[in-house]
Chains A and B, each alone.
Chain A
Amino acid sequence: MCGIVGYAGYREALPILIDSLKRLEYRGYDSAGVAVVEDSVKIVKDKGYIANLESQLPQLRGVVGLAHTRWATHGAPSKDNAHPFYDCREKIALAHNGIIENYAELRDELKAHGHTFRSQTDTEVLVHLVEQSYAGNLEDAIRKALARCTGTYAIAVVHADEPDKLVAARNFSPLIVGLGAEENYVASDVPALLKYTDKVLYVMDREIVVLRPKSVQILDFEGRPVAREPQRITWSLEDAERGGFDHFMLKEIFEQPQAIHNTLLGRMTEVDTNGFFQDVTSVKLVACGTSYHASLVGKYVLEEVAKVPTTVELASEYRYAPTPTEQPLVILLSQSGETADTLGAAREAKRRGCKTLGITNGVGSSLTRETERTMYTRAGLEIGVAATKTFTAQLVALYLVAIRMGLDRGALSPEDANRLRDELRALPRHVQTVLNQADPIADLARAYAGARDMFFIGRGINYPVAMEGALKMKEISYIHAEAYAGGELKHGPLALLTPDTPVVAVTVRDRNYEKMMGNVGEVNARGSPVIAVGTEGGRDLPRFVEHVVYVPKVRDLLYPVPVSVVFQLLAYYAARKRGCPIDKPRNLAKTVTVE
């Protein structure tokens, strides 16, 4: 199986061809090549992946061309056997998907006519046959050539003498035409074209199609024109890339065990900082949005593990605040590494003479250039606008930084560091345990999806987790959600509680458990339904609250990870019940590159 793409339009063909070809790489991957029509026909090809071809492409400006990715059938994977192929005079380039069954006899015949073959492929006979038949019109030549062949094929052909034309033909192997505005495409499969157009023509067996920038004509093998209605593709590239999940957000929630694995990978024994943290006397965490919530959790972690005084600021505030004399280590967190306010804050921190460390998921992003050191969260590409896996990966990165800093500053013993690392190793499992409960959590979310307002409460390290839970709920389900520290309810928010305002409470078995249960009591007294997140094995919660979701028992410091996964699932399923556009909430963009 091979893949073909072709383009005839007004833009430079090369980048479009390469991009489309990558979408077909699943069809074959032992060699790849491209042909573009300029004054002459230029072919570049090599064995290996498309990326290998891409690395050696010259500048080609032509607006008509074709490309091919190959899976060897006849002839070994090699540069010589890669498509496209030239004819003897290098005027024609042809790429082929399929098998020419009678190629051996055709080859002998063509050789007898003086044609020179440069590969061991069955395909090369096609290009010489076309050359043999060519009399000024490419589609006629192809029609005559194909009449001589038996087998299966989809082909794409260009000729230097007809530079605005791309001709393709099909017999059994798949081929579709994509229709654009003054540009047209062919490809072996729909995904190759989805980025450019959703309007396609299906080419049938024994048909030839002639593409020019402004026209597409389908002919049968007798040369008679065929009428065909274009069809609209209703699925998007994203449907394909979501890999069975209904939304990117859900896919990314379920990727968290792997994202945590990858973030821990190779760093359990060392975060390579070479004593960077040794002389740190205080830390300032600076971020926006979800990263700001991760920073608030980080404050508890750094203070407890590294015993270092830590403050947290919003990047947009830090930039314009007065300059204090103190010079803390400034840690900047940004999922993309391109957040304008965070980049501005990084420059400001440098101006103030502070050491800077960036934590980001954006490999090679601007933040890595604006900070002295970078630590990557290796969560993989996140497409859903609501941050999920990058949030938990940021938490894991902060635990790792805290351990290193604790060791460097002599605030953490190697034994305690080891114990904490062993517990970090277990985090992917704890997240999986929460994911295994997605169905009951979904039921709960659906039951309360009709709420107008919702409150999230937590204490200590789980207070920022409640804030993140409220943010998730707001941004994707559009339910008005607020977070309060448990002890703050009585200072005002209790006035808002009614039997119609569900309260989500973090009541895990940590040092704040008794206090939190007191707050749950206050809520109960107002008749508001409570959804509690408790620790597995605890038995008393169901006596006080309507609903309990259990997370595994971990040390106090680590609860933010499993608890935030519960909140992600709650928000996701509530939004789904409400029919919200989960991956693209209104008025929000994934990366905020404006100030």
Chain B
Amino acid sequence: MKAIILAAGEGARMGPFTVSEPKVMIPVGNRPILEYVVEALVENGIHDLVFVTGYRRERIQSHFEDGRKFHANIEYAVQEKQLGTMHAVWEARGHLQGAFLVVNGSNYVDAQAIADLLNVGTGPALLITESEAQEKYGVVSLSGHYVDKIVEKPRHPEGNLINTGVYAFDASALSLMESLLNEGQYDLPSLVQALAAKNRVRAVRTKGTWLDALYPWDLLKLNSHVLGGIADVQSGTIEKDVTLRGKVAIGEGSRIRSGTYILGPAVIGRGCEIGPNIVIYPSTSIGDNVKVQAFTAIENSILMNDVLVGPHSTIAHSVVGSGVRVASNLMASADRANAHVEGEWHVVDPIGGLVGEDTEIRDGVVIEPGSLVGARCRIGALSRVRGNVPNGTTVM
């Protein structure tokens, strides 16, 4: 059986974290979200994968290549315009024979969830889960074990079962898809509705894990989840008087300098220089080629690749994009705060700073909790950043 993985979207709600890469490539636990999805499928014996790519597709191709490194056989289809999920599957139709799965590449899903879907046998099926944020998803009502209807983003949701975007279809779905596309319907829920009207679509409640990341702070939740599963493996050079507690993974060629204290779970990538005298608290991911200088404390945060953090900085519950450079004394501490994304306010507790890729932060900057700093900004010394700063802004 083949699986189609939807990976074409930009992920606008992820703000400055998708300037260089599509949402599926955002790292949590130092691996792109999409890698966990591939792993869940491969563990279930599904090795033939079709990635539907679009926005910044080269990033996906460079990472996954032909899939051999991931024990998969990956083919690529392109969705030039991101019209909808069914349209995406349609763009991959040339790669399909027989029954197939459809999985969203930007949602974390584990092998158990995929297994639950596979175990119900043949015929169309949909993976559902409970959620308290129903208004952001398609809410599924059931009749018995089968889908009755899906209501997209309802104001007054009936029940708390939502569509995870993980589907199983058989070959006959393709012809129905064609007629729906001709009617101007582009999303998979409309296909499920149409199938449910003709036949029956099994709704599968999973015991496994399915996690969505809609907003940048959701990445922290995902990050702490996946860090639960890391291996306690240390490469590189660990100088004396370094304390490691709990599960800590350290990549090849990294150097952890004296006096550094790391509380796992934490993962540090390849070619990093950490320390001396750094404290890293649990649920922190530090990417490749990152340098963190003396007397800095980092807690429950993601630092992506190529980040440089100067001395005496505090970074808590924060997401720091690739290539961010901090001179020294950055304060990004966490509190309950309002964050503003794509025209909506969200209360997040706790949250630190969200800093987009390649932004340069000079000495002594304070980023107030919940602030979203765009990509390629320049934040002058002693600035206090409150609220959102658009991409490319210079703050003096």
Contacts and interface: CB of A to CB of B under 8 A. Distances in A.
Interface stretch (B51-59, B311-319, B365-373): B51-59
Given A243-B65, A422-B291, A432-B20, A268 B271 contact: yes
Interface string B377-393: 00000000000000000
A104 interface: no
Given A243-B66, A243-B76, A429 B61 contact: no
Contacts of A241: 65-66
Interface stretch (A22-30, A116-124, A317-325, A452-460): A22-30
A26 B68 contact: yes
Given A25-B68, A261-B271, A254 B357 contact: no
Interface in A232-251: 240-245, 250-251
Contact of B71 (A29, A243, A258): A29
20 contacts: A27-B73, A241-B65, A242-B66, A243-B74, A244-B60, A251-B62, A254-B58, A261-B270, A264-B271, A265-B252, A266-B252, A266-B253, A268-B271, A422-B291, A425-B289, A425-B306, A426-B323, A429-B306, A433-B20, A436-B56
B5 to A, nearest CB: 13
Contacts of B253: 265-267
Interface string A549-584: 000100000000000000000000000000000000
Contact of A244 (B61, B73, B291, B308): B61
Given A266-B252, A429-B357, A27 B74 contact: no
B308 to A, nearest CB: 6
Contacts of B59: 254
Given A244-B76, A254-B62, A255-B62, A261 B289 contact: yes
Contacts of A261: 270-271, 288-289, 305
Interface in B151-199: none
Contact of B19 (A244, A268, A436): A436
A26 B323 contact: no
B61 A266 contact: no
Interface string A518-554: 0000000000000000000000000000000000100
Contacts of B228: none
B61 A71 contact: no
Interface string A158-169: 000000000000
Nearest to A24: B73
A71 B73 CA distance: 15
A429 B308 CA distance: 12
Contacts of B306: 425-426, 428-429
A266 B271 contact: yes
A438 B45 contact: no
A436 B323 CA distance: 14
Contacts, number: 101
A1 B47 contact: yes
Contacts of B65: 241, 243, 251
Contacts of A268: 271, 273
A243 B61 contact: yes
Interface string B261-295: 00000000011010000000000000011010000
A191 B75 CA distance: 13
Contacts of A264: 271, 289
Given A26-B67, A244-B61, A254-B62, A429 B291 contact: no
Interface string A355-394: 0000000000000000000000000000000000000000
A269 interface: yes
Contact of A269 (B51, B58, B273, B289): B273
Contacts of B60: 244
Contact of A429 (B67, B273, B322): B322
Contacts of B66: 240-243
B61 A254 contact: yes
B64 A26 contact: no
Query: Of B57, B61, B255, which is in contact with the most chain A CB atoms at under 10 Å from its CB?
Result: B61
A26 B58 contact: no
Interface string A182-204: 00000001010000000000000
A435 interface: yes
Given A1-B45, A1-B47, A266-B271, A26 B61 contact: no
Contact of B64 (A29, A243, A265, A433): A243
Given A26-B67, A243-B66, A243-B76, A428 B271 contact: no
Interface of B: 19-20, 45, 47, 51, 53, 56-62, 64-68, 71-76, 236, 252-255, 270-271, 273, 288-289, 291, 305-306, 308, 322-323, 325, 357-358
Interface residues of A, number: 37
Contacts of A436: 19-20, 56
A266 B58 contact: no
B253 to A, nearest CB: 3
Contacts of B271: 261, 264-266, 268
Contacts of A189: 73
Given A26-B67, A71-B45, A240-B66, 12 more contacts: A25-B68, A26-B68, A26-B71, A244-B76, A254-B61, A261-B289, A264-B271, A265-B252, A265-B271, A266-B271, A425-B289, A436-B20
Contacts of A27: 47, 73
A251 B289 contact: no
A258 B305 CA distance: 11
A396 to B, nearest CB: 12
B64 A438 contact: no
Nearest to A264: B271
Given A254-B61, A264-B271, A429-B322, A269 B67 contact: no
A204 to B, nearest CB: 14
B47 A269 contact: no
A26 B49 CA distance: 11
Contacts of A250: 58
Contact of B61 (A1, A245, A426): A245
A433 B73 contact: no
B350 to A, nearest CB: 29
Contacts of B73: 26-27, 189, 191
Interface in A21-60: 25-27, 29
A244 B252 CA distance: 29
Nearest to B272: A268
A251 B60 CA distance: 11
Contact of B323 (A71, A267, A429): A429
B325 A435 contact: no
B41 to A, nearest CB: 12
A428 B325 CA distance: 13
A97 to B, nearest CB: 11
A244 B67 contact: no
Contacts of B273: 268-269
Nearest to B65: A243
Contacts of B57: 244
A243 B253 CA distance: 28
A150 to B, nearest CB: 17
B300 to A, nearest CB: 24
Contacts of A240: 66
B51 A244 contact: yes
A422 B76 contact: no
Contacts of A432: 20, 322-323
Contacts of A265: 252-253, 270-271, 289
B18 to A, nearest CB: 11
B321 to A, nearest CB: 10
B55 to A, nearest CB: 11
A23 B189 CA distance: 37
B325 A26 contact: no
A265 B271 CA distance: 5
B58 A425 contact: no
Given A265-B271, A425-B308, A258 B62 contact: yes
Contacts of A438: 58
A435 B325 CA distance: 20
B328 to A, nearest CB: 13
A266 B236 contact: yes
Nearest to B251: A265
